[in-house]
Amino acid sequence: MAQEARTPAELFDLSGKTALVTGGSRGLGRAIVLAYAAAGADVVIASRKLDACEALAHEVEALGRKALPVACHVGRWDDLGALVEAAYGRFGKLDILVNNAGMSPLAPSSDETSEELFDKIVAVNFKGPFRLSALIARRMKAAGRGSVISVSSTGALRPLPTFGPYAGSKAALNAISTAFAQEFAPEVRFNVISPGGFYTDTSKSWAEPGQEVPDVPLRRYGYPPEIVTAALYFASDASSYTTGSLLRVDGLAQV
C-alpha cells in the first residue's frame, strides 16, 4: 500500500513485528518496550538482571503480546550471539533492534580514568551495539527488511571533561550507525536517537520530576513518553524513507 494511502495509525502500527530492546528492563528501555507492545509488537527484553526482564515480560503479556526475557551483558562479545539465537529461536525473526543498553560513569579526570573503566564503557556503549547490530542486520537484510535504532546521547555532541570516554563511545555509536545505514541498505534502516536528561528510575540520584533545570531552554528534563514517540517513529513504517539520521530529543535549542 502506498504510504500516502495509509492513515497515521496504520503507519505507526507494529502488529506482527518483533523487537529486541537491550537495557530493556528499566529506564528509557522499559518505556520503549511497553510502547512497542502497546503498538502490537512482541518483544525480546534483554538486560543483565533476568528477574527484572521477567517482571517486565509479565507486563507485556498482560497487554496481549508475547515476550522473551533474556539475561545478557551487551559488553561481552560471546553473550550477543547467544542473545540473537535465543530471539530467533523463539520468534523466528526480528524486525526491530533497539541498542539502548549503556553506562555513563563519571571520571575524576582523564589521567585518573583507569583502563578497566575505559574498556567497560567502550564495551557496553560501542562494542556491544556494533556486534549485535552486525549480527542482526545481516539476518534482517536476508529477510528483506528491518529497523535498527541506537540510543546515543547529547553528551556525544556536547562532550565535557567529566565524561570523555562516555562521550567518545557514544560518538562512535553515531558514526557506526551511519556506516551501517549504507552497508545494509536498502533493506535495513539505521537511525539514532540522541536523548538529553530524562526523569526515570535510573536518574533519581540526580534529577527529580518537577525540578527546574536552568541550563535547559525548556527548563526541565524529559519524561519517558517523550522518547517513546521517537522510538515508535523509527521502528515503524512512518519512517520508511529515513535512514542514517540522528534525532535529538534533549530540550536544547542548539548543540
- Of 36, 166, 199, 221, the active-site residue reads 166
Q: Which residue type does 126 have?
A: F
Residue whose C-alpha cell reads 556536547 in the numeric block: 158
Q: Is 72 left (phi over 0), alpha (psi -120 to 50) or beta?
A: beta
**Is the Cβ–Cβ distance between 14 and 235 less than 8 Å?**
yes
Give the other-Cβ count within 10 Å of 63's Cβ. Answer: 14
166 is catalytic: yes
Residue 155 per-residue DSSP state: G
Cα gap 255→249, rounded to integer Å? 12
Residue 174: all three cell numbers together = 553515531
Catalytic sites, residue numbers: 166
